[in-house]
Amino acid sequence: LAALTPFSPALALFSEDFEQPFYDEAAGLYATDHTLVRGLDGLYHLFYIVGRAGESWSVPGNEIDFGHASSPDLVHWTVHPRVIPIDPSHGWKSRNVWAPHVMVAPDGAPAPYLMAYTGVDSSLNQAIGIATSGDLFTWQDLSVAAPAYHPDPSWAEWDSGGSWSNCRDPFLARIGGEW
The CA distances from residue 156 to 4, 28, 86, 121, in Å, are 52, 38, 25, 18
Per-residue pLDDT tens digits for 118-154: 999 998 888 999 999 999 999 999 988 888 888 888 8
The type of residue at 141 is D
pTM of the model: 0.81
Q: Are 131 and 140 in contact (CB under 8 A)?
A: yes
Per-residue pLDDT tens digits for 36-59: 999 999 999 999 999 999 998 889
